[in-house]
Chains A and B, each alone.
Chain A
Amino acid sequence: DAGITQSPRHKVTETGTPVTLRCHQTENHRYMYWYRQDPGHGLRLIHYSYGVKDTDKGEVSDGYSVSRSKTEDFLLTLESATSSQTSVYFCAIRREQGTGELFFGEGSRLTVL
């Protein structure tokens, strides 16, 4: 258990509304990630962070922004949600002293109507 909590776990929203997903970790890991999972696509990296206020884009970053104002929280924001952003979103951490594996949260299922 890597102490990762995602909230909300389920959310239904309407097109055009802003949405923020939160990832909270309890072990002060430097590296945090947001992925989305869609059938037929596996997991794709949206954004990642390598420290407070240090973030970078992943493979599918369009339409998403992130913020990390403190070590334990990594926020993913959809400024104006679209139906194509209906997905399951996973947060993950990587331990600095590990061998590169990621540890995942339970996921947040987002439905955009």
Chain B
Amino acid sequence: AQSVTQPDIHITVSEGASLELRCNYSYGATPYLFWYVQSPGQGLQLLLKYFSGDTLVQGIKGFEAEFKRSQSSFNLRKPSVHWSDAAEYFCAVGAHSGGGADGLTFGKGTHLIIQP
């Protein structure tokens, strides 16, 4: 069965500092990988995705993530955070085949706090 681990429940970062959120996955085949962001009281917004090709993917809002197959990781990074980045971040894994109906498996989330 597939699973996603986000080791950090909370992370506090100063505004302007760099950010890295960790994500490790377990999946028996080549996965699709995603990062979503959720602001308080809102739905989930897709930040970026990896499905093939270049292992460094760029997303919206200045975020990027790197797929490392050898480490089963898909860490999210941003060089300089803004106060508006404070939110809950979810990593998710899905089937690469694309033919099935199965949904995504999500991690438990990392709550990002931005200090002024």
Question: A-B pairs with the 8 shortest C-beta distances?
Answer: A50-B101, A42-B108, A100-B32, A43-B106, A104-B43, A100-B94, A99-B51, A42-B106
Known: A48-B102, A94-B103. A41 touches B108 (CB 8 A): yes
Q: Digit string of B56-95 for contact with A (CB within 8 Å is 1, else 0)? A: 0000000000000000000000000000000000101011
Structural contact, A92 and B90, CB atoms closer than 8 A = no
Question: Which of A's residues lie within 8 Å of B, judged by CB?
Answer: 31, 33, 35, 40-45, 48-50, 56, 58, 90, 92, 94, 99-107
B88 to A: closest C-beta gap in Å: 9
- Identify the closest chain A residue to B31 (Cβ): A100
Per the bound structure, the CA–CA distance linking A16 and B106 in Å amounts to 30
Per the bound structure, the CA–CA distance linking A42 and B109 in Å amounts to 6
Q: Which residues of B contact A33 (CB under 8 A)?
A: 103
25 contacts between A and B (CB under 8 A): A35-B106, A41-B108, A42-B6, A42-B90, A42-B106, A42-B107, A42-B109, A43-B44, A43-B90, A43-B106, A48-B102, A48-B103, A50-B101, A90-B44, A99-B51, A100-B32, A100-B95, A101-B32, A101-B34, A101-B46, A102-B104, A104-B43, A105-B43, A106-B43, A107-B42
Per the bound structure, the CA–CA distance linking A21 and B51 in Å amounts to 32
A109 to B: closest C-beta gap in Å: 9
Q: Which residues of A contact B44 (CB under 8 A)?
A: 43, 90, 102, 104
Dominant SS among interface residues on chain A:
strand
Structural contact, A99 and B103, CB atoms closer than 8 A = no
Q: Which residues of A contact B108 (CB under 8 A)?
A: 40-42
Q: Name which of A33, A48, A104, A105 has the most chain B CB atoms within 10 A of its CB.
A: A104
Per the bound structure, the CA–CA distance linking A48 and B101 in Å amounts to 8
Per the bound structure, the CA–CA distance linking A105 and B43 in Å amounts to 6
